[in-house]
Each structure stands twice: as C-alpha cells, then as structure tokens.
Structure 1
Amino acid sequence: MVFWEGYVSDELMGTIAPIVVYWLYGGLYQLLPPLDRFRLHSRKELNAKNSVTLPTVVKGVLSQQLLQATLAQSLFWVTAKMGLSSNTAQPPLPIQALQFLVAMLVMDSWQYFLHRYMHENKFLYRHIHSWHHRLVVTCAIGALYNHPLEGLLLDTFGGGIAFLVSGMTARTAVFFFCFATMKTIDDHSGLWLPGNVFQLFFRNNAAYHDIHHQLKGLKYNYSQPFFSVWDRLLGTYMPYDLVPRREGGLEARPSKD
C-alpha cells in the first residue's frame, strides 16, 4: 500500500509526483546556503558565463512540464487500457528492481544517442540543443531547461519508451520517474557534497556532467542520467580530477587517464 492509494490513481500520481519532486528537490538546492567550498564553479562564474536568467529558466521548465504532463497522462491512459492500470497487482520486489534497471538502461541508451546527435548535427545544436548549454555553469532548477522539442524528444519520449520496454506498472513508474528526476537535478546542481548518495554510487554525476558543459568537454560525456557505459564503449568518455580552486571550492578538470 502507498500513501496516495484511495486518493488519486497511480497514473495521476505518476504524472504529478515527478513535477512536485522537481521543484521541491531543485528548490532545496537553490535555497541552500552559499556552500562555496563545495561548488564546482564560483558564484562569479555563474553570473558571468550563463547567458540565460533564472526567471527564463523557470518559465522554460514549466512549459516543458506542462507538455510532459499532458503526454504522460495520455500514455498512462493507453497502458491502462492494455492492462497496466492501478488495479494491476504489483510484481515481487526483485522483478520491480529488474524493471528499474531495464528502464535505466533504456533511458540511458535513448538519451546518449539522441544527445550525441544533437551535438554532432550543427543545425540541431545551434537551433535546439544550444538552449540547454546556455547554462555553462549548471544549476539544479535548470536540469530540465531545454528547447521544447528537445524536452519532448529527449526526456518525455525517452521516459515513455523506458516505461514501456521495462513493463513496469504505473505504480512502479511513480518511484522510477521521481528517482530519475532527482538524479537529473543532482547532476546539474553544480555541487560536490560529501555523503551525497548519487555521487557515491554513480560515476555519472555532477562533476561528470559539469565536464560536458565546459567548452573543452562539449564533445564528451554525453551519457545521462545514470551510467557512463556508452561514453566508455564509444570513445566519448572524458575522465576528470577534482582539484581545489584557489578562491575556494572544487573544480572538475579533464585528466589524462
């Protein structure tokens, strides 16, 4: 039993919960004290390098989430008709764990190849993917700041395909999409916090993705949001070292390993 049972359907929860989690978890990062000793970039760089304002980022994310919610409800409606409804019995936990892993691998594969293509195709990069790279210094709230078409193709379609291929129920999807949302936010937080579980258990983390947002790493570290498998297999992996900055904090620098 889950806390929303009897109040809202699993399908509705799977639509609204990731949005609520995005603003609660991302907002928490935005409201944290300066924590300059844990930042991958100084606050001066944040203001100097980014070419988009925070209000514009917020509006862009909200627009994407509106479209995402509409399509998610449509997908859940279709799969409910196919028998994957909130009334379907949950499989045993080991099966759900396997579905989680399959969904993670599918989402990673979808996002790697589409993300890489958006970098290699000059037209797509200039007119679509460059929106996300307006945030040279990433921030938690900007994790889903993309061109609307990219948001649709990369995130919404990627999540939908992962859901369908894994065979998870709508209830399991609530937890999966909330987890994926938190992981993406963490990767864009620009912070290297001690004890952070995402940074402890995933090599694809805030520092890994920070390398990708730097000019020297623009053609590397495409993998997101979970693993670095495709980068390592296809020669787009850029290792890094975390080194102290003179003015305080840490910096992710490409290494020669």
Structure 2
Amino acid sequence: MITYNLGIRFSPLEGIVRGTIPFGTTWQVRGESGAGKSTLGFQFLMQGLRQGESAVYVACDEPATRVREDMNFFGFSTEPYEQEGKLVLVDTYESSDPRVLCIKDRGDSQEFLYILTRIVRQMPRPCRLILDSLTSLSAVYSTKAFISLIQDKNRLLRDPEVVIMDIYLKSTLEEAGMYALTNAYDVCLDLLFPDEKGGVPQRSLRIHKLRTSGYDPRPFPCFIKQGVGLVVDKEFYVR
C-alpha cells in the first residue's frame, strides 16, 4: 500500500496518492451525469469542516437552499457550521434566504470574480472552495471567455491556505477547450462508468493529473455510502 500523507486530508485519495497535496492547489473533478460528482464535492466540504477548516460552496446548478437540503438529506448537517461562520453557501441565482450570498448576474465575469474573491478572503483559514457545477456557468460564455474566467479565478484566489475544487460534467467543452482548461489545474480527478456488473454501471475514481506528488493512475472502483460519500476500493489491484 502506498504511504499517504496528505496536507489536504481527503479519504477517497488515501492509498492512491504518494506524499502530500498541499493547500494552495486547484482541483478539477470531471464525470458523467450521475457518477457522483456532487457527492464528492459534499464529501470534500464536510471532511474539511469536521477537521476545523472553513468552506465556501458555490451552487451553479440549483439554488443553494436546495443544495443545503440535499446535503442534510444525505447526512451532512450544514446548520452548525453556517451558524459558526465556518460554512458559506453562495447562489448564482436570486435568493430570499438571508443565509445565502448571491452572485446575481452569472454572465458578468467581473461581478462573479469580485464577489467570490471578497467572500473567500473573509473566511477563516484554511478554507475549501467548491464550485458545482461550472458546466452551467460555461453555457453563458464563449469557450475562450470561459477559460479566461477560470484562469482569472484560480489566479485571484490562489492562496497557500485555500484549496479550490471545480466540478464539471465530462462533456462541458470540446476536446481542445477541455485540454486548455485542464492546464489551469494542479489536480484532475475523473469519475467514470467504465464497466457494468449485472447491467448496472460501476463507478470508478481515477486521478488524471497531479502536479505535487506521485500517484496511481489506474481507475479504482468506488460506491456511494449514505452519510460518508464515495468509498474507494484501494485494495482492488492487490487482491
């Protein structure tokens, strides 16, 4: 088994990564619909909060109030962390919930970057920032403008005590655009449905890219467990 010593503690990667993935890195998660991308984002957020870190969750696909309901239903209670100021939910829709901060015009890149930067700078450190899903945001920009937005976001928010996780549907951009987008990240994770068992697609997690340390590039089977998130079979290749 590979020795695991992660600066950013995240259980799905234990046993797959050698060495340390530090704060100050940018992460990209890609996957098909239903592969578990949002669940992985919830898990990344909650594991940080439970370790005393802070978190910002930007809801791009649905209202943040519904995201809160989804997390609570899954077994991730957000209210204590929101009350402590450790968790902030951000909406890219209009919201009447006073606990939710809003980016009212998702098509205004300057507003998006200004509000997001202001929120993250006010959070206790260390902080995890999750944006789910940027596929929705990409629909209101040209490919060139969207890639520029992501590059600017990562540059403005890069901080030795902040980690950024951006979540995408696999087919967000065409191949050339997706390749250019991948260059904006230090860590790239793929959630796959490569095999079927009894006619049911079997999820796998694969590290596609990791700049900071060594890793096992093979796909590892995983499943979703209520109240936990993705559980990865780290022993799959040694049995």
Shorter-chain TM range is under 0.3
Scaled by the length of structure 2, the TM-score of the pair is: 0.26
Scaled by the length of structure 1, the TM-score of the pair is: 0.25
Q: Which structure carries more helix by proportion?
A: 1
Q: Which structure carries more strand by proportion?
A: 2
